[in-house]
């Protein structure tokens, strides 16, 4: 098996973008290629993740990207796995380089939905749920996570103000990220006074709908060494699944796929959660970050809120979570998010994160899931 490295990374800004889905996908891809210092013809295959290309009149994005890079003869794979699409594309690319099929590949994730408006996005996103029981009975995505939040409030010593602290922390981080969608600091009071979307979650507990694209170049260690640019190594990769509907899960405050994927990734990397210096986790809603940090093994079940109160997940805390601003502040272009998390880890571990830099960090983790965690991928990276 080959050692797999990330050689370059690029992203568009996240937010409301005017350019087409094809244009932003290609822009991010070119950024990653230039960051890696390679020529497009050195790329052996492309992995392109996206969910709602139909909203901007372009599906089958793979060949469009490859054609615009001047390598139309190269194979591509267009991938959909709801909000976890990016990390699934990354995983498929990783597996192929790991197995020795390709020595350098492009992974680009993209989403372009803001032009469709809140009702369209709320409705179409609900198709990612187990629709018969959830979306088809009126559950929005905020609603599904709100029902996890309600169960958490009932089971553990937690308050809505505790959840708000996650949003405040992630906005503090995103304020320092020039690519972030919502670059403004907020207070607990701002969160508590924002309109209720799905009780107990309020508008500022929710990530925004975003447009954006992110891209990385994955390659063998040999290929990385032949190019003189900075690179990081992928030391762990894991995937897992959960019952598609919340009702089928043993606990309503745990996402099984996170545990399965992270256990596999930790095992492959030969490390435990305490060896991780920082993590980019799937905080589509504030409750999600609390649940994620427990399921990833950073805190005991029910202790995630106490950790947030104590500031343990801030940039200068014991285990910084979402230094990029996370989905909450950086934004959540759903097909791009999983790749965007890798871009942040690459920037952090190669000294490109500016004011957001986690001092002395050597090991970073990404955690990204689809829907309410019905599918999940976790990756672990190390500086070289």
Partner 1 sequence: MSAKQEFVDTVKSGKVLARKCTKCGELHLATVYYCKKCGNKGFENAILDGKGKIATYTIITVSPAGFEKYTPYAWVVLKLDESDLRISGFMAGIKTPVDLPIGTRAKITGFDDRGIIIEKQ
Please give the positions annotated as active site. Answer: 83, 332
Comparing CB distances to partner 1, the nearer of 129 and 350 is 129
Specify the residue for token string 């304020």: 175
3-state SS assignment for residue 169 = helix
Q: Which residue lies nearer to partner 1 by CB, 81 or 242?
A: 242
x/- mask, partner 1, residues 184-223, rule CB under 8 A, reads -----------xxxxxxx----------------------
Judged by CB under 8 A, which stretch of 146-154, 162-170, 216-224, 276-284 contacts partner 1? 146-154
Token readout for 223 is 């290929």
**Residue 348 near partner 1 by CB under 8 A:** no
Rounded least distance, CB 103 to partner 1, Å: 40
Question: Min. distance of Cβ 247 from partner 1 in angstroms?
Answer: 4
Q: Write the CB contacts of 193 (distance below 8 Å, at least 6 apart in sequence).
A: none
Helix, strand, or coil here: 110? strand
Rounded to whole angstroms, the Cα distance separating 127 from 131 reads 6
The conformation of residue 97, written as its DSSP 8-state character, comes to H
Residue 147 touches partner 1, criterion: CB under 8 A: yes
* Alpha-carbon distance values, 342 to 267, 320, 336 (Å): 20, 15, 10
* 65: three-class secondary structure by DSSP: helix
Token pair, residue 356, equals 């957001």
- Residues 137, 225, 270, 351: which binds partner 1 (CB under 8 A)? 137
Residue 358 CA to residue 174 CA, distance in Å, equals 14
Query: Nearer Cβ to partner 1, position 106 or 198?
Result: 198
Q: How far is the CB of 218 from partner 1 (least distance, A)?
A: 35
**Total site size for partner 1, rule CB under 8 A:** 37
Residues 224-283 that bind partner 1 (CB under 8 A): 245-248, 252
Among 25, 27, 81, 126, binds partner 1 (CB under 8 A): 126
Does residue 360 come out as left (phi exceeding 0), alpha (psi in the -120 to 50 range) or beta?
Answer: left
Structure tokens at 210: 């975003």
How far is residue 243's CA from residue 252's CA, in Å, rounded to a whole number?
11
Q: Tell me which stretch binds partner 1 (CB under 8 A): 23-31, 147-155, 186-194, 221-229.
A: 147-155
| Surface-to-core class of residue 35, CB atoms within 10 Å of its CB (0-12 exposed, 13-18 middle, 19+ buried) | buried
The single residue among 134, 211, 295, 347 that binds partner 1, judged by CB under 8 A, is 134
- Class of residue 294 by CB neighbours under 10 A (exposed 0-12, middle 13-18, buried 19+): buried
Q: Name the residue nearer to partner 1 (CB basis): 103 or 162.
A: 162
Q: Closest CB to partner 1 among 5 and 206? A: 206
Q: Strand 278-280 relative to strand 363-370: parallel, antiparallel, unpaired?
A: parallel
Give the nearer residue to partner 1 in terms of CB position, either 37 or 248: 248
Contact residue for partner 1 among 33, 139, 345, 365 (CB under 8 A):
139
Q: What's the min distance (Å) between Cβ of 142 and partner 1?
A: 7
Residue 127 CB, nearest approach to partner 1 (Å): 9
Residues that bind partner 1 (CB under 8 A): 118-120, 122-123, 126, 132-140, 142-144, 146-151, 154, 195-201, 245-248, 252
């Amino acid at each position: 098996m080959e050692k797999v490295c990330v050689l370059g990374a690029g992203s568009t800004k996240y937010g409301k973008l005017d350019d087409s889905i094809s244009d932003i996908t290609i822009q991010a891809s070119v950024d990653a290629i230039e960051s890696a210092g390679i020529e497009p013809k050195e790329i052996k295959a492309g992995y392109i993740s996206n969910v709602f290309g139909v909203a901007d009149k372009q599906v089958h994005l793979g060949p469009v990207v490859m054609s615009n890079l001047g390598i139309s003869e190269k194979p591509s794979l267009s991938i959909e796995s709801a909000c976890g699409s990016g990390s699934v594309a990354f995983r498929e690319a990783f597996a192929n380089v790991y197995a020795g099929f390709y020595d350098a590949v492009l992974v680009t994730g993209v989403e372009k939905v803001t032009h469709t408006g809140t009702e369209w996005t709320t409705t179409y996103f609900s198709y990612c749920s187990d629709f018969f029981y959830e979306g088809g009975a009126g559950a929005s995505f905020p609603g599904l996570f709100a029902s996890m939040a309600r169960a958490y409030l009932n089971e553990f010593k937690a308050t809505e103000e505790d959840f708000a602290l996650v949003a405040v922390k992630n906005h503090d981080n995103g304020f320092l990220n020039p690519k972030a969608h919502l670059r403004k600091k907020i207070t607990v009071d701002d969160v508590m006074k924002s309109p209720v979307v799905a009780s107990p979650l309020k508008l500022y507990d929710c990530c925004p709908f975003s447009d954006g694209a992110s891209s990385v170049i994955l390659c063998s260690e040999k290929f990385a060494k032949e190019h003189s640019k900075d690179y990081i190594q992928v030391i762990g990769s894991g995937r897992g699944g959960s019952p598609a509907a919340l009702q089928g899960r043993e606990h309503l405050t745990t996402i099984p796929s996170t545990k399965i994927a992270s256990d596999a990734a930790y095992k492959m990397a030969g490390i435990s959660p305490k060896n991780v210096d920082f993590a980019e986790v799937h905080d589509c809603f504030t409750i999600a970050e609390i649940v994620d940090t427990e399921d990833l093994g950073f805190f005991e079940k029910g202790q995630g809120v106490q950790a947030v109160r104590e500031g343990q997940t801030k940039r200068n805390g014991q285990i910084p979570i979402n230094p990029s601003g996370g989905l909450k502040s950086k934004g959540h272009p759903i097909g791009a998010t999983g790749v965007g998390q890798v871009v942040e880890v690459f920037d952090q571990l190669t000294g490109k994160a500016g004011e957001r830099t986690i001092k002395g960090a050597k090991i970073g983790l990404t955690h990204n899931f689809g829907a309410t965690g019905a599918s999940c991928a976790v990756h672990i990276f190390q500086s070289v």
